[in-house]
Chains A and B, each alone.
Chain A
Amino acid sequence: MNDPPPIGGAPEMSRKSYETVRRGLAKRRAAERRFRCYGLSAILLGLTSLALLFASIVSNGYTAFRQTFVGLDIYFDAELIDPQGNRSPESLATGDYGGLVKRALSKVFPAVSSRSEKRALYSLVSTAAAIELQRRAVREPSLIGKTVKVWLPADDDVDMYVKGHIRRGAGESARRLNDRQLAWIDELIEQGNIEQRFNKTFFTAGDSREPEQAGIWGAAAGSFFTLVVTLALSFPIGIAAAIYLEEFAPKNRWTDLIEVNINNLAAVPSIVFGLLGLAVFINFFDLPRSSPLVGGLVLTFMTLPTIIIAARAAIKSVPPSIREAALGIGASSMQTVFHHVLPLAMPGMLTGAIIGMARALGESAPLLMIGMVAFIVDIPHSVMDPATVLPVQVYLWADSPERGFVERTSAAIIVLLAFLITMNALAVYLRSRFERRW
C-alpha cells in the first residue's frame, strides 16, 4: 500500500512505534471494512423487507381500485318509477328501480324463465344499481320514458370472476357462481357489456356488507376526525407540559416522580388506555360511544407521553448559551422560552408530534374497547357521530368471508399508508420551514 515512509532519521523509539502501528493497520482497516459491511447489509435487509411489504400489499390491493360494471339498456318506465306521475322527487323516490334492472336483464336473456333461474340472473347486478338509477332519474327527469345505456355495478361475485379470482375448473359447488351464471357473464363479456372501470364507490362510500358497495371513505373520515381531536389536544398539552417541566418546574422529588411516570406511561400497552377511556369517558362522562371524540381522547392519553418526551429532548438540545444570552440582556424566562428556546426546539417537537400521530393513526386496540369497531355504514360528519378508523376497517374487512374483501383489505392498507406518508411529508415540510441554520 502507499503508506508514507517513516520520517528520515527518526529516533529508535518512534521508529519502533511506527513499525508497530503499521503492522496493526491492516487489522484496523479490516475491522472498519467489516463494520461497513454489517451496516450496509442491515440497510439492505430493511429495504428489501420494505419493498416486499409494499409489493405484496400493492399487488393484492390495486385491483380493488377497479370495479366491474355491467352495461344495460335501461328503459326508464314511468309506470314503474313514477307512481304519482308528476316527476316530483317525492314520487320518484318511491319507484321500483330494481324492476328496471330486472326487465333489462330479462331482455338480454329472454330464454330465462324459471323463478330460480331469474333470481340467479338478477343477482349478477349489485343491489346498489337500483339506488344509482334512482339518483340518475331524480337528477335527470327527462330520461323518463326513454331507453338509455347505463353502466351499473356488478355483483362482487361477478367482479371476482372477471378479475380471475373464481376459476371455472372447480366443481359448481366449490364456487359462488353456477355454470349458468358463468355462461351469462361470458355472453355479456362477448357483447362488450362488461367493463372494468375506476372504482369510485371505494373512495366515496362507507362500510357495507356487500364488497362492491363498501368504501373506505367512512373510515378515512373517522380517522381524520379522531386525529384532529388527538392533535388538537395532545400537541398543546404535551408542549406546555414539556416546557413547564424543563424550564419552570423546580427540580425536586415530585418532578422526578412525574418524569418517571411519564416514561412509564409511554410503555403502557395501548389497550389499557382503551379500558381507561371506556371507564372514564363513556361510563362516567357519558360521551357518545364509537365517536371520534372519545377515540381522540383515548389516543391523546396514548400519545401524550411520546410527545412530552420528544419535546423535552428537543428543549434540552437547545444550547444553554442561547438561554444565557437572552437572560443576560434582561429577557424574562417567559420571553427566553418563547422567543428563543421554542423556535429552536420546534423541529424536534414536530417530529415527536408526528411520531405520536403516526402511532395514533395505526392504533386499533384501544379503539376496539370504546366501540369504534362497530359496523357503521354512514359517513361521520362530526366528532360526535359514530365512526370507525382505517386500521379497524382493515381489521373488519380482513375478518369478512367474502372474496371481494381480500383485495379491499389491501387497498385499505394502501390508503392507510398514503395517509401516513402524507402526514410525514407534511412534517418534513414543516421541519424545514422551522429549521434555522446556525
Chain B
Amino acid sequence: MNIIAEPQNEIKKERPKMRYLETDRPATPFAREHIKTVGAITVDSPRITCRNVNVYYGTKQAIDDVSLDIGRNAVIALIGPSGCGKSTFIRCLNRMNDTVIGCRVSGRIGIDEQNIYDPQMDVVLLRAQVGMVFQKPNPFPKSIYDNIAYGPRIHGLAANKLELDEIVETSLRKAGLWDEVKDNLAHPGTGLSGGQQQRLCIARTIAVGPEVILMDEPCSALDPIATARIEQLIDELREQFTIVIVTHSMQQAARVSQRTAYFHLGKLVEVGETAQLFTNPMHQLTEDYITGRFG
C-alpha cells in the first residue's frame, strides 16, 4: 500500500506549524487540551452539522468539543486509535447514546437544520431517517424476510403485502444479497454466514428508507472477500445515501471514503479529503497514526 507517498512541497512548508520544536514542547505533548482541529470541518450544503459536541459518560469526557460537517451523498470515514471516541461520536448522530445510562451529550447536532437533541425531536423519526449498521452483525432471530420487513412494518411504509414484498426485494438487491437468499427468504436470518448477515443488516437498514447510514466498523468481523463486497456496496449506496463509517483499516477508509476524520482522545484532530489526509497529513498526530508510529 502506497498511500503514504512523498509529501508535496507546498504542503510540506505548512507542516511545521503543527509541530512542536524540541524547545517549546509542552510537558505533555499532544495532551487533550493542546489539540486543535485542523482541516476543513465545513462542506457546502451539509447533511449533518455538528457544533461543539461534548459527550460524557458520567464524569468521563469521551468527546471533547467536536465540530464537523457531513456532506450529502458522500462517505466520511472516522478513524483513530481504539477508545478515542469514534463509536461514541457516531452514536450521537442517531441518538443511540440515549440508551446508555449516564451518557450526556451537549452541543448542537443538526440534520438539515433540525437540531436532533431538541426535546421536540422524536427519536423514532430520527432513527428512521438515520439508520445504523453495527460492528457485529445482529439480525433478529426471525426469517430473512421478517428481518427486512420489520422496519417497514412498524413504520407503516407498505400498504399491502405486495408492496412489502417489493421493499424486501429491492432492499436485498441493493445490499447485494438478493441472489443468494431469494429462494429461502423464510430461513432464519441467523443461519447466514457472517458476511451475509452483515449485508442482511445493511438491507434491513436500507428498507426503512433512511437518508443517512451510520456504520460502526461494519467489516471488522468479516473476511477479505466479504469485506470487499461490502466496500463495493458502500460505494454504490453513496449515490443515494449519506454514509458515515467508522473503520480501523486505513486502507478501507482510503478505498471507500471521500473525506476522513481522525479522532484522538475524544478530540477531532484532523479532517480533510481522504486522499489528502492520507498522503499529506497536516497534524503530527495524524501522521504518526497513519504511518503506524502509534495507535
Contact = CB atoms under 8 A, between A and B. Distances in A.
Interface of A: 251, 319, 321-332, 335, 339-340, 344, 436-438
Contact of B208 (A251, A330, A344, A438): A330
Contact of A251 (B101, B128, B134, B140): B101
Interface in B137-164: 138-141, 150-151, 154-155
Contacts of B126: 330
- By size class, the interface of chain B is 20 to 34
18 contacts: A319-B138, A321-B134, A322-B138, A324-B132, A325-B134, A325-B138, A325-B204, A327-B96, A328-B127, A329-B127, A329-B150, A329-B151, A329-B208, A330-B126, A331-B151, A339-B150, A437-B188, A438-B141
Nearest to A343: B141
A115 B154 CA distance: 87
Nearest to B128: A330
A275 B35 CA distance: 68
A325 B128 contact: no
A427 B162 CA distance: 39
Contact of A438 (B131, B151, B155, B190): B190
B99 interface: yes
Interface of A is mostly: helix
A126 B201 CA distance: 76
B96 A329 contact: no
B127 A324 contact: no
Interface of B is mostly: helix
A43 B124 CA distance: 52
Contacts of A328: 94, 96, 127, 131-134, 205
Interface in B11-68: none
Given A251-B101, A339-B150, A436-B141, A329 B134 contact: no
B248 interface: no
Nearest to B205: A329
B136 interface: yes
B141 A321 contact: no
B125 interface: yes
A347 to B, nearest CB: 12
Given A321-B136, A330-B125, A330-B127, A437 B150 contact: no
A69 B99 CA distance: 72
B154 A335 contact: yes
B220 to A, nearest CB: 14
A23 B102 CA distance: 52
Contacts of A251: 101
Contacts of A436: 141
A150 B272 CA distance: 104
Contacts of A437: 141, 188, 190
A354 B126 CA distance: 41
Given A436-B141, A438-B141, A331 B99 contact: no
Nearest to A320: B99
B201 A325 contact: yes
B128 A329 contact: yes
Contacts of B99: 323-324, 327
A325 B151 CA distance: 10
Nearest to B127: A330
A321 B128 contact: no
Contacts of A330: 124-128, 151, 154-155, 208
A322 B190 CA distance: 12
Nearest to B99: A327
Nearest 7 pairs of A and B residues by beta carbon: A321-B138, A330-B128, A330-B127, A328-B132, A329-B151, A325-B138, A436-B141
Contacts of A331: 124, 150-151, 154
Contacts of A321: 134, 136, 138
A325 B140 contact: yes
Contacts of A339: 150, 154
A148 B238 CA distance: 97
B140 A340 contact: yes
Contacts of A324: 96, 99, 132, 134, 138
A214 to B, nearest CB: 52
A330 B134 CA distance: 14
Given A329-B131, A330-B125, A330-B154, 16 more contacts: A251-B101, A321-B136, A323-B99, A324-B138, A325-B201, A328-B132, A328-B134, A329-B150, A329-B207, A330-B124, A330-B155, A331-B150, A335-B154, A339-B154, A436-B141, A437-B188
Interface in B190-219: 190, 201, 204-205, 207-208
Nearest to B102: A251
A315 B155 CA distance: 25
A336 B219 CA distance: 26
Contact of B140 (A322, A327, A332, A335): A322
Interface string B100-126: 010000000000000000000000111
A329 B138 contact: no
B155 to A, nearest CB: 6
A332 B124 contact: yes
Contacts of B139: 325
Nearest to A438: B190
Contacts of B201: 325
A413 B126 CA distance: 60
Contacts of B141: 322, 344, 436-438
A317 to B, nearest CB: 13
A323 B100 CA distance: 12
A36 B28 CA distance: 57
A436 B188 CA distance: 10
Contacts of A325: 134, 138-140, 201, 204
Interface in B52-95: 94
B161 to A, nearest CB: 19
Contacts of B132: 324, 328
A344 B140 CA distance: 10
Contacts of A326: 140, 150
Query: Which of B101, B127, B201 has most A Cβ within 10 Å?
Result: B127
A191 to B, nearest CB: 71
A329 B208 CA distance: 7
Contacts of B101: 251
Nearest to B98: A327
Contacts of B151: 329-331
Contacts of B140: 322, 325-326, 340
Nearest to B132: A328
Contacts of B155: 330
A327 B94 CA distance: 10
Nearest to B155: A330
